[in-house]
Structure 1
Amino acid sequence: MDHSASPSAPLRRTRRIVLATPVVLGAAAAAFLAQRPLRHHGGGWHAWAGTFNGVVFDTVAALPLSVLVVWALARRRQVAGAAAAWAWRRSAAEVGIVHGTVPWVWMIMLPGAGAGVAPRRVSLVPLRDLLAVLAGSPVTATVQIVGNLLVFAALGFCAPLRFAALGSVPRVLALAAGCSVLVETAQYVLWLDRVSSVDDVLLNTAGAGLAALASRRWWGAAADAPSDRSGPAPVPGG
């Protein structure tokens, strides 16, 4: 009997708890910091869905629900015969794409104060807006650059894990660039009082590419066989 394998399950559970604790604490801190300014908006749906802080709070608050959805999808796949690691990886990738992308897109699609009134603005000269941002406040520059890098970062990280056909950095870059162009075009068409800038497309695409490189070690698992169960034994003489 192999006694060395017995502590593996408790050890894995302990490791998950240790890894999950800072995530939960960080989420709680982000939710607390995000909800404080909402008190000055008088409540209502606009405070929770029409402001940056509201979207951040909603995103963090929805994290337990997203984890539950991952668990439900993974369990369903395992019941259908999929390997546990494959089921959890694919389910986490699907939910991660949605949970990590929709809030960012929602925030950058929020209308400005002059929506429908201020002239539409387009910037098609590469790096001009970026250099202007870097010349201003370091805090503002950091927030804008990091924010743009994160818009499609979850997509770049998770898409190759979910879709084996996207297991290539150029393909991820093309996907992110296409999504970013659609968002910038929507900002212009919907007259949201935002600048449709080529620099935003460049930063969004770069963020997705960097995130894709971070998940590259797991790409091969996206094409793994989905089942741990062996087929029926062959019938002798059949």
Structure 2
Amino acid sequence: MGEAMLNSWHAWFGTFTGVAALTLLSLPVAAVTAAVLGWRRKAAGTASPWRLSFADVGMVHGTVPWVWMVLLPGEHPGVERGPLNLVPLRDLLEMDTGQVVGNLFIFAALGFFAPQRFAALASLPRVLALAGGWSALLEITQYLWLDRVSSVDDVLLNAAGAGLAALASRRWWRRPAELHEDTAVICRAG
């Protein structure tokens, strides 16, 4: 019984398919969470309560599962180190379409929603730096502890995906004036 439970937990939390299924199954919870946050913010008088709430939930729900998948260990985690490639564009030529698309999506939700949520991130260079920094951290973690392939091309694709998603959401980016409105509401409420 214990082994069957362990295997079922692993199937859900330790495989790409399981994490993808959990992500889809949790969509209703994410939608309800965003709605509740929106109503609470609206009642508090926050400017753009719905946009902020959906941006908060969208960043988390759209990024955490991808990062989780990236952090799944290889065959010999902690014992062996996976391959490392620091030469730009070398791995890209050998990647299949699924790998390229997957790498573009890892920080796409972050790139799409972060500029909507935080005025300080409402610029393409800042989104690229944020995604590139997080991606580099993931690649270092994969190399040092997870026995997974680590490549500078993954960092480039992750950042590019975030940048493209940010451009797709540009019309909804927060402006510095909106940030001051939120601060004024918080000051009046406090």
TM-score, L = length of structure 1: 0.70
Please state if 1:49 is matched with 2:4: no
Identity %: 61
Per-residue deviation at 1:195? Answer: 1.1
Aligned residues of 1:93 and 1:158 also touching (Cα < 8 A)? yes
Aligned residues of 2:81 and 2:143 also touching (Cα < 8 A)? no
Per-residue deviation at 1:43? Answer: 4.9
Unaligned runs of 5+ in 2: 186-190
Which letter maps to 2:108? A
Please state if 1:166 is matched with 2:121: yes
The runs of at least 4 aligned residues of structure 1 exceeding 3 Å deviation read 116-120, 220-223
What does residue 50 of structure 2 align with? 88
Per-residue deviation at 1:222? Answer: 7.4
Gap change, CA 1:77 and 1:112, over 3 Å in 2: same
Gap change, CA 1:222 and 1:159, over 3 Å in 2: farther
Please state if 1:113 is matched with 2:75: yes
Which letter maps to 2:59? I
Q: Deviations over 1:123-150 (max 9, x none)?
A: 00001111122xxxxxxx1110000000
Per-residue deviation at 1:120? Answer: 3.4
Which letter maps to 1:104? W
Q: Deviations over 1:79-122 (max 9, x none)?
A: 11124xx1000000011110000000000110112323444321
What does residue 87 of structure 2 align with? 125
| Separation of aligned partners in 1, 2:122 and 2:39 | 25
Which letter maps to 1:52? F
Matched residue pairs, number?
178
The higher radius of gyration belongs to 1
**Which structure is richer in relative contact order (CA contacts within 8 A, separation 6 or more)?**
2
Which letter maps to 1:69? T
Q: Deviations over 1:155-204 (max 9, x none)?
A: 000000000011100000000000001111111221x1211110000000
| Separation of aligned partners in 2, 1:198 and 1:120 | 14
| Separation of aligned partners in 1, 2:162 and 2:98 | 17
- Name the SS for the 2:150 alignment partner: strand
| Separation of aligned partners in 2, 1:186 and 1:42 | 25
| Separation of aligned partners in 1, 2:141 and 2:125 | 24
| Separation of aligned partners in 1, 2:138 and 2:177 | 30
TM-score, L = length of structure 2: 0.87
| Separation of aligned partners in 1, 2:158 and 2:40 | 34
The alignment's C-alpha RMSD in Å is: 2.0
